[in-house]
Structure formats: C-alpha cells, structure tokens
C-alpha cells in the first residue's frame, strides 16, 4: 500500500510540473525590427506572447488588428514609435472579455480614424488594455469620440502622456480619451496636455467619460477643456487641472483652477517616448503621495524627493560634477589582443542577450521537459521492478 501511495504521489507531482512548464513554454518572445516583422509577429503569436519592438519609427501601412493576450513593448535606448502616417488607426483591439493587451515603453503617433468609431491611436472594443509608460501624440479622429483612445472595455493607464491629439467632428468628444458607457477607465501618474477639439470646444473635453473613471496623480492642462463628463469622475487624489471641468476631483489633495504647471510646451525626446518635461520649479514637483515606488515613464526611480511628482515624469536633477572623480581603468594585454580584462559592450551584445533569453527560452523549456520526462520514466521503472 505504501509503495502504491508513493508511486501515485511521484506521478502526480511530476505530471503537475510537466503541465505547468509546458503551459509556460508556449509563451514566446518575438523581436522585431520592421513593420512587416511586427505584423507577422502579431499574426503568429499566441496568448501570452511578448513582442519586443526595437527602437525606431514604424510607419504602418495598415491597422494592427489584435485579438489575443499580448504584450507589445519598446526596447532599446531611443524613440520607439508606431506611426499611422495620418492614414491609419494604429491599433484595433477586439480581444473579448478574456483577453488582455499590454502596451509598454512605446509611442503611438499620427493615427487617423475616419470610420466613425474614434480611437485613432487605440480602439478598445472589449477586453482589457494595460498601458504603461506610453506616449500618444498627434492622433486625430475626424469622426467618432476619442482622438487617441476610444474605450469600450477596461483600460488601465499609468505613467502615460497624451499630447496634441484631436477630435474634429461636430459631435465628437474626448480629444485624448473617450470612455464609453459601461466601460471602465483608470488613469494614474499621467500627463494630458494640449489636446484639442476643433468642432465642439465648449463641451468636448480631453477626457470624455460616460462610464466608470478614476483619476489620480494626473495633470490635465492646456486642453480645449479638460473633461466632459456624463457620469462623475472619481478622484484617488493628487490631481492638478487648469480648470474645474473634471467634476469629482475635489479631494483636499486635488488642485483645481491652477495656472502654471511648469512643464515644457512641446513633447521632448527622453528615452523610448516623448514627454512633457518638468522643470525644477514645476508646480507638480513633490506634490503627490509619499507612498509611491518604482520608476516613471522614462525609467527614473520614484520618488526622487520626499514625495512623488504629479504626472508621468518625475523631475530628476542631473549631476553636473563629481568631486575627486578619477577615470576608471582596466588592464589590457600589451599586444592589444581581444583576450583582456576590458570587454566592450554594444547594441549587438544587447541583441544577443535578448535573443538568448527571448526566443531561445523556448528551447530551454523543451530541454527541461525532456529531462523531467526522463526522470519520471526512470523512477516509475524502478518502482515497477521492486
């Protein structure tokens, strides 16, 4: 009886491990460097995959249609932008309630929507979209709501910038974001500036809400108006707006009818995306909660001071000089051959590392599966021989 129980336990344990590893090994990493590779990666991917988009501007000839659980993220050290070239919507997400799209470290710019659905940068028909450290720039909806985003599902937006997006149609709302009835939208640590409604300026806000909307630690300024609301906005505190149109931002830590935010007037290059850069005297610096942690939209550790800053970017004071700094030295062979103590690292090394820990991880998982299978069969033979 004991022998049978041990055999059953080992079989259950190893089988569970095999199933777990097998399910994880299905997720793959796709590294892309061209628009065609990006389209192919989306087509060939399965739920759980990650697509790494190398630095550069990707001029899209057609909309990226996504109906899977995917992560699309910029990699590298300079601007990574998906560009609709003023001809195409950039992303159309139709994943359904069980699917989740994650966008990270990437810029969506020059998208165009003229089909009545809005969302020139991103159209969310259903499902969940998590948006972190993204910039939406100069996207235009000539009809329909939402210059940058039209949301009919669930959207969670963090450390994200919206600048110079437009709605142009007479009845259109939400020059930056339109949140439809029954939809859910959460915005934190984001910057929403200079978004314009050309057709209906008195009632068309940069953020238009008909569903559920919660905002925290976000700056809304220099838009035609900041908000147009069909339902009340819920504040989680520490918001800054240049008018009082975002009804519901009324906690003691919210700042309404403010004048000078102290951000740059243009979107400036800063790593993988463009942002409204704060100055040292910005009214947003050190005005959020002290319990924040992590990094901001461009990789700066937060907080830099006692508290976090409001908006997508934490003000970072650069070090201008270091006292008594001495050069870093390392030993090289006298014959200057390549076998020395000083290794050079460049983009090729980074690419190789990403490849090893990216698509190559599938091969490692396969090897592990084969090894566990061998152990399982070996143990079972031992028990059967006794």
Q: What is the DSSP letter of 35?
A: H
pLDDT of residue 22: 45
Closest listed residue to residue 254, CA positions, set 211, 210, 206, 219: 219
For 4-10, which contacts have Cβ atoms below 8 Å and span 24 or more sequence positions?
6/383, 7/380, 7/383, 10/376, 10/379, 10/380, 10/383
* Domain regions of the chain by residue span: 1-28+358-386, 44-318
Q: Are strands 268-270 and 273-275 parallel, antiparallel or unpaired?
A: antiparallel
Cross-strand pairs, 112: 140
Closest listed residue to residue 83, CA positions, set 130, 138, 12: 138
| Each residue's pLDDT expressed in tens, for the chain with a length of 386 residues | 555 555 555 555 445 554 444 444 468 999 999 999 999 999 999 999 999 999 999 999 999 999 999 999 999 889 999 999 999 999 999 998 999 999 999 999 999 999 999 999 999 999 999 999 999 999 999 988 999 999 999 999 999 999 999 998 766 889 999 999 999 999 999 999 999 988 666 668 999 999 999 999 999 999 999 999 887 899 999 999 999 999 999 999 999 999 999 999 999 998 889 999 999 999 999 999 989 899 999 999 999 999 999 999 999 876 544 444 444 444 444 444 444 444 443 444 444 333 333 444 444 455 555 556 666 666 666 656 65
Q: Which residues of 222-261 are buried (b: 16+ CB within 10 A; e: fewer)?
A: bbbbbbbbeeebebbebbbbbeebbebbeeebbbbebeeb
- CB 91 within 8 Å of CB 121: yes
Neighbouring C-beta atoms of residue 138, cutoff 10 Å: 22
- CB 144 within 8 Å of CB 168: no
CA dist., res. 163 & res. 140, Å (int): 11
Which tokens is 147 given?
């210059």
CA dist., res. 45 & res. 160, Å (int): 26
- CB 41 within 8 Å of CB 50: no
User: Quick one: which H or E segment has residue 357?
Assistant: helix 347-357
3-state class (DSSP) for residue 287: coil
User: Quick one: which H or E segment has residue 245?
Assistant: none
pLDDT of residue 322: 40
- CB 150 within 8 Å of CB 141: yes
Q: What is the DSSP letter of 255?
A: B
pLDDT of residue 295: 93
C-alpha dist (Å) from residue 120 to 20, 111, 167, 310: 39, 5, 9, 27
Kindly tell me the sign of the dihedral angle through the C-alpha atoms of 68, 71, 74, 76. negative
pLDDT of residue 36: 97
């Amino acid at each position: 009886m004991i022998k049978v129980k041990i055999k059953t336990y080992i079989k259950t344990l190893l089988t569970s491990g095999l199933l777990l590893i097998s399910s994880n090994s299905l997720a793959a990493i796709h590294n892309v460097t061209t628009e065609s590779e990006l389209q192919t990666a989306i087509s060939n991917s399965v739920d759980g995959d990650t697509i790494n988009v190398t630095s550069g501007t990707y001029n899209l000839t057609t909309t990226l249609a996504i109906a899977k659980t995917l992560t699309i993220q910029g990699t590298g050290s300079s601007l990574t932008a998906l560009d609709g070239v003023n001809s195409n919507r950039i992303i159309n997400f139709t994943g359904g309630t069980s699917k989740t799209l994650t966008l990270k470290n990437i810029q969506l710019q020059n998208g165009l929507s003229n089909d009545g659905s809005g969302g020139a940068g991103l159209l969310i028909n259903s499902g969940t979209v998590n948006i972190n450290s993204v910039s939406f720039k100069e996207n235009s909806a000539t009809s329909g709501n939402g210059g940058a985003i039209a949301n009919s599902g669930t959207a969670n937006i963090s450390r994200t910038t919206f600048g110079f997006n437009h709605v142009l149609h007479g009845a259109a709302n939400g020059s930056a974001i339109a949140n439809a009835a029954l939809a859910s939208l959460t915005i934190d640590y984001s910057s929403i500036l200079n978004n314009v409604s050309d057709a209906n300026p008195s009632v068309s806000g940069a953020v238009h809400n008909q569903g559920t909307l919660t905002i925290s630690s976000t700056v809304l300024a220099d838009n035609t108006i900041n908000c147009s609301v069909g339902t009340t906005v819920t504040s989680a505190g520490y918001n800054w707006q240049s008018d009082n149109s975002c009804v519901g931002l009324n906690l003691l830590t919210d700042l309404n009818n403010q004048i000078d935010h102290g951000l740059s007037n243009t979107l400036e290059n800063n790593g993988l995306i463009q942002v409204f850069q704060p100055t040292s005297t910005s009214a947003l610096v050190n005005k959020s909660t002290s319990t924040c942690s992590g990094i901001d939209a461009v990789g700066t550790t937060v907080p830099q001071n006692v508290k976090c800053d409001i908006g997508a970017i934490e003000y970072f004071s650069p070090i201008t000089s270091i006292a008594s700094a001495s050069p870093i030295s390392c030993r090289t062979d006298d014959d200057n051959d390549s076998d020395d103590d000083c290794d050079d690292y460049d983009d090729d090394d980074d690419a190789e590392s990403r490849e090893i820990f990216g698509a190559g991880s599938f091969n490692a998982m396969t090897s592990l599966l084969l090894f566990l299978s061998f152990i399982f069969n070996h143990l079972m033979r031992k028990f059967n021989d006794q």
